[in-house]
Amino acid sequence: MNARDNTNQPEELVPSRYALRVGEIDVLVVSDGVLPLPAATMATNADPAALAVWLDHMFLPPDAFDWPLNVLVARSGEQVILVDTGLGSQFPGFPRAGQTPHRLEAAGIDLSAVTDVVITHMHMDHIGGLLVDGIKERLRPDLRIHVAAAEVAFWDTPDFSQTAMPEPVPDVLRSTARQFMEQYRDRLHVFQERHEVAPGVVARRTGGHTPGHCVVDIDSSGQRLTFAGDAMFPVGFDHPDWQNGFEHDPGESTRVRMALFGELADNGGLLVATHLPFPSVGRVAREGDTFRWAPVFWDH
């Protein structure tokens, strides 16, 4: 119970990383923590009574929901790719998130070993980890940060007219995106629709959640995993038409979500997503007009 890791800090009793192999590519899912948010943000276009029924069915509280927050590390050849960076430590309203830097260290991954970062989109819980004090100095000077051109363009003048976020959030998202661009503009590798980050690791733009939102496909030796970012949330399997308050284009987000669910159901590949319960590794199956998420059995 009091075992210690190489940082001389007590080990966490709750698992925070899960390793698997996709063909010849090593993958590590890392929990950045959880974000406590109002449950209503999960389904802003749903009848509140229907949402209440779903929450009760899932044994979840009626008024608040802890969004899981996952990032992913992939090792392809000599490249170490970090997909998203978590929340960071700048947001006192979310004290249980922002764990990525020290959890990478506990997993034996030095930040200086990371060759590439893929940003699925520039919401604060995906870029904040790069803004923690002292982190930039630990990164290699030739680090490549991959992000869709449409995402960079969007955050020049972001549009929140179709979102339904808690009141303080839009201003914090704007300021965080601005700070990220100021600090890392010279390291950005901007792509249009699709970009091979490393052999077997491809980022592709889906749009929807944000205009430049992308997913990351890992494909090696006939095995496949898709990191879907914020394209899907736990409620989406049962109610893929329910839209959450953080989607900048809710209608397009629904289309993207449905397309990805169908794609995953057809190809049988693994799914990991930012806000599915850790480690979020599973598969998708069709179930009538909806979908079913089948978590993998943990491989100990």
Which residues on adjacent β-strands are paired with residue 292?
A: 285
State the sign of the Cα–Cα–Cα–Cα dihedral 231, 234, 240, 242: negative
**By C-alpha distance, which of 214, 233, 227, 231 is closest to 270?**
227
294-to-52, 278, 283 alpha-carbon distances in Å: 23, 13, 5
pLDDT (0 to 100) of residue 4: 34
Separation of alpha carbons 200 and 84, rounded Å: 18
CB atoms within 10 A of CB 283: 16
Q: How far apart are CA 152 and CA 104, in angstroms?
A: 27
The pairing of beta strand 282-287 with beta strand 290-295: antiparallel
- Which residue stretches of the chain have pLDDT < 50? 1-9
Residue 231: per-residue pLDDT: 97
CA pair distance 211, 69, nearest whole angstrom: 21
What gap in Å lies between CA 132 and CA 207, rounded to an integer? 27
Query: For the structural domain made of 17-295, what CATH number should be given?
Result: 3.60.15.10
157-178, pLDDT tens digit by residue? 999 999 999 988 999 999 999 9
Q: What is the pLDDT of residue 101?
A: 93
pTM recorded for the entire structure: 0.94
Pairing of strands 201-205, 194-198: antiparallel
